[in-house]
Structure formats: structure tokens, C-alpha cells
């Protein structure tokens, strides 16, 4: 049996498979053994109470879905009291995902959640920055650096930083996160999209635009993971459209050390268990002793790729 364990900074996970924030709840324990996962990533929490976005909040698309759930929150005290204990009773590291609307409140919230029972903090900096007219922090290197530095100053917990695929110069943004002290990059969140009901002529989402997720975004996410892998030394956690063990392997070959599964769990709540089984089967079939050895292992012809990769790094 292959060694499926992976290292994300100082953390060792039993395997690279974990849920993507917002696509998982503790009730999934009815469908799969949560002690078989690499980590449990919880839905983002924000420091201030808020209701979330107007309805309808989800719409189906070809090979994916659009959502504009927002981050409904009852605040951090309620989160610590009512949400966190349901996850920390498992024998799997718990990752809290934090959203905030200023760099300082990001720092404050992450400090408050730097609890012994929390294995790592995922900063969802793909959310709107009030100090930049609502543009997501992770759209620009400067605001990425500012937010991640503000968090790093206030916590010594392992810090994962979740980027947005909507950004252009992803290599610069990933480097800004690394320079500011991130321990890992999560690449990434949903792609901004929109759908219209042609009978009513109304947008299908109450918030007009929303995040596209699922298999439709997988090639985009694989490309971004590969660009980040070339740009930084810290581990990358790949996310976007993963449904099978082969998808997870593809992300690892592109440069991911671990993977997160989002939309696929809505269709099959047991899918993450099947992916873990599939990773072990892949290793057996291909004689891979250590799964982590696949990270960044895409077979590239150096002569062919050198020129376009330099171009891709500059333009992305």
C-alpha cells in the first residue's frame, strides 16, 4: 500500500483529500468516514454578523453551477461555541476558513481563531475588500500582501491563503502571499460568472453575478496551479472541478501538494472517500510508493515549453 501522506508546511496530512470551504458540513459523516480525509475545511466565517446574499443563490450550468451564497455569519463567538466543536471531535485536522472586509479585521479574526483545536487557518482573500471599493483582496499583489501581512502579524498558526482565478497576474499574487508569510496557497476559488433566464429575462442569481464552480473550471484551475507551482516554494492546494482520483492526480502533476473537493460533493456526498480509494489504486497500478512524489511531475519537454512558459509567467 502506497504512502498517501502529504506535508503542508509543518502539518502532515494522512492523505491530500479535503473538502473545499462552503461545500461541506459535518452531516457528511453520514455518507463517509471523516477520519479518512486529510483535513476538514469548514465554511468561511466572517467577524461580523450578516445575512448572506439575496435569493436565488444557486443556478445550474453546463458542467457546473453558479452560486452567490455570500458568507452568512452569526459572528466569531457563535462560531466558536456552536460550529467548531462539531468538527474538532474527529481525528482529522480542522481548518477554519476566514473572510473579512478589511486587512485589519482579517488579522483580528484570524487571531481570535488561532485556537489549539484549529490545525490551520485558511484566509479566503477572494472576498471583497471594503478599502478598495469591494474589489477582492486577491485581485492584486499589493492588497494580497497587505492582507496576508496583517494576518501573519497576529497569528503563528499555519496560514493557507486562498486565491481567486479571476486575477490576471497570478504568479505575482502568489509570490506576494508567500512574501507576506503564507504557509500554503489554495488555488482557488470560483470564477465570476452570470446566467440569464431567457423567459423572464432576469438574472438567474439574486445577486446578478456569482461564482462558477465544478468541472467547467477544471482546466483553468489546473493551469493556475501550475503557474503558482512555478512561482513559489510553499505548497499549493489545488481546487476547481475535481470529481475523481484522476482529476486529483492531474492537479498534483501540475504542482498541487493536496486537493480540495467542492461541487462534486453536492452530487455525491461520499465522493471524497472514493477519491482517496482511487488515489491508492492509482499508486498500486503505476508503482508509485509515495503519492507526494507526484507533485509537479508533469512531463514537459524543456525545449518546447521554455519559451511559452516564460511568456505565460509574464502574462499570468
Q: Which residues pair with 73 in a beta bridge?
A: 50
11 binds ligand FMN (CB under 6 A): no
105 binds ligand FMN (CB under 6 A): no
Whether the CB-CB separation of 39 and 13 falls below 8 Å is answered with yes
166 binds ligand FMN (CB under 6 A): no
Q: Which of 162, 175, 226, 229 lies at the binding interface for ligand FMN (CB under 6 A)?
A: 162
Continuous segment of H or E residues that includes residue 229:
helix 218-231
**Chain centroid offset of residue 259 CA:** 8
Report the site for ligand FMN in 258-277 (rule: CB under 6 A).
261-264
Q: Could you tell me the smallest distance in angstroms from the CB atom of residue 140 to ligand FMN? A: 18
C-alpha cell at 62: 453546463
- Nearest Cα to Cα of residue 161 among 169, 151, 153: 151
Rounded CA-CA distance 3/211 in Å is 35
Continuous segment of H or E residues that includes residue 152:
helix 141-152
182 binds ligand FMN (CB under 6 A): no
124 binds ligand FMN (CB under 6 A): yes
Q: Identify which of residues 70 and 93 has a Cβ nearer to ligand FMN in the complex.
A: 70
Radius of gyration of the chain (CA): 19
Q: Of 23, 127, 228, 239, which residue is the catalytic one?
A: 127
**Total residues contacting ligand FMN (rule CB under 6 A)?**
25
Rounded CA-CA distance 165/220 in Å is 8
Whether the CB-CB separation of 107 and 134 falls below 8 Å is answered with no
Rounded CA-CA distance 7/29 in Å is 24
Rounded CA-CA distance 221/216 in Å is 10
Residues whose CB is less than 8 angstroms from the CB of residue 85 and which lie 6 or more positions away in sequence, other chains included:
none
44 binds ligand FMN (CB under 6 A): yes
Q: Could you tell me the smallest distance in angstroms from the CB atom of residue 67 to ligand FMN? A: 4
Confirm or deny that 68 is annotated as ligand binding: yes
Confirm or deny that 69 is annotated as ligand binding: yes
In the shown chain, the binding pattern of residues 56 to 75 toward ligand FMN, with x for contact by CB under 6 A and - for none, equals -----------x-x-x----
Contact region with ligand FMN (CB under 6 A), list: 87-95, 153-161, 194-202, 240-248: 240-248
Contact region with ligand FMN (CB under 6 A), list: 15-23, 30-38, 134-142, 277-285: 15-23
C-alpha cell at 273: 472517500
Task: Identify whether 110 is a catalytic site residue.
Answer: no
Whether the CB-CB separation of 155 and 184 falls below 8 Å is answered with no
C-alpha cell at 144: 494580497
Q: Identify which of residues 66 and 288 has a Cβ nearer to ligand FMN in the complex.
A: 66
In the shown chain, the binding pattern of residues 70 to 99 toward ligand FMN, with x for contact by CB under 6 A and - for none, equals -x-------------------------x--
Give the residue numbers of the binding site.
Answer: 21, 43-44, 67-71, 124, 162, 189-190, 214, 240-241, 262-263
| Positions marked active-site | 127
Residues near ligand FMN (CB under 6 A) are 20-23, 43-44, 67, 69, 71, 97, 124, 162, 189-190, 213-214, 217, 239-242, 261-264
Amino acid at each position: 500500500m502506497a504512502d498517501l501522506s502529504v506535508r503542508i508546511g509543518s502539518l502532515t496530512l494522512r492523505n491530500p483529500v479535503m473538502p473545499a470551504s462552503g461545500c461541506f458540513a459535518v452531516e457528511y459523516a453520514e455518507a463517509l468516514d471523516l477520519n479518512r480525509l486529510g483535513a476538514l475545511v469548514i465554511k468561511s466565517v466572517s467577524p461580523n454578523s450578516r445575512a448572506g446574499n439575496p435569493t436565488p443563490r444557486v443556478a445550474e450550468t453546463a458542467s457546473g453551477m453558479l452560486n452567490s451564497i455570500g458568507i452568512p455569519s452569526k459572528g466569531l463567538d457563535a462560531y466558536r461555541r456552536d460550529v467548531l466543536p462539531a468538527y474538532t471531535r474527529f481525528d482529522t485536522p480542522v481548518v477554519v476558513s476566514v473572510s473579512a472586509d478589511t486587512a485589519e479585521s482579517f488579522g483580528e479574526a484570524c487571531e481570535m481563531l488561532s485556537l489549539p483545536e484549529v490545525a490551520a487557518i485558511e484566509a479566503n482573500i477572494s472576498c471583497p475588500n471594503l478599502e478598495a471599493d469591494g474589489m477582492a483582496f486577491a485581485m492584486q499583489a499589493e492588497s494580497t500582501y497587505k492582507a496576508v501581512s496583517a494576518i501573519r502579524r497576529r497569528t503563528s498558526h499555519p496560514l493557507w491563503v486562498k486565491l481567486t482565478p479571476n486575477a490576471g497576474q497570478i504568479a505575482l499574487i502568489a509570490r506576494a502571499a508567500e512574501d507576506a508569510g503564507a504557509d500554503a496557497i489554495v488555488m482557488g476559488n470560483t470564477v465570476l460568472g452570470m446566467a440569464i433566464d431567457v423567459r423572464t429575462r432576469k438574472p438567474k442569481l439574486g445577486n446578478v453575478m456569482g461564482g462558477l464552480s465544478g468541472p467547467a473550471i477544471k482546466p483553468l484551475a489546473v493551469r493556475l496551479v501550475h503557474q503558482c507551482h512555478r512561482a513559489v516554494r510553499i505548497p499549493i492546494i489545488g481546487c476547481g472541478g475535481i470529481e475523481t482520483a484522476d482529476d486529483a492526480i492531474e492537479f498534483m502533476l501540475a504542482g498541487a501538494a493536496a486537493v480540495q473537493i467542492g461541487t462534486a460533493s453536492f452530487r455525491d456526498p461520499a465522493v471524497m472517500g472514493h477519491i482517496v480509494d482511487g488515489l491508492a489504486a492509482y499508486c498500486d497500478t503505476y508503482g508509485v510508493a509515495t503519492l507526494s512524489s507526484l507533485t509537479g511531475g508533469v512531463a514537459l519537454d524543456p525545449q518546447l515549453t521554455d519559451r511559452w512558459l516564460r511568456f505565460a509567467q509574464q502574462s499570468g
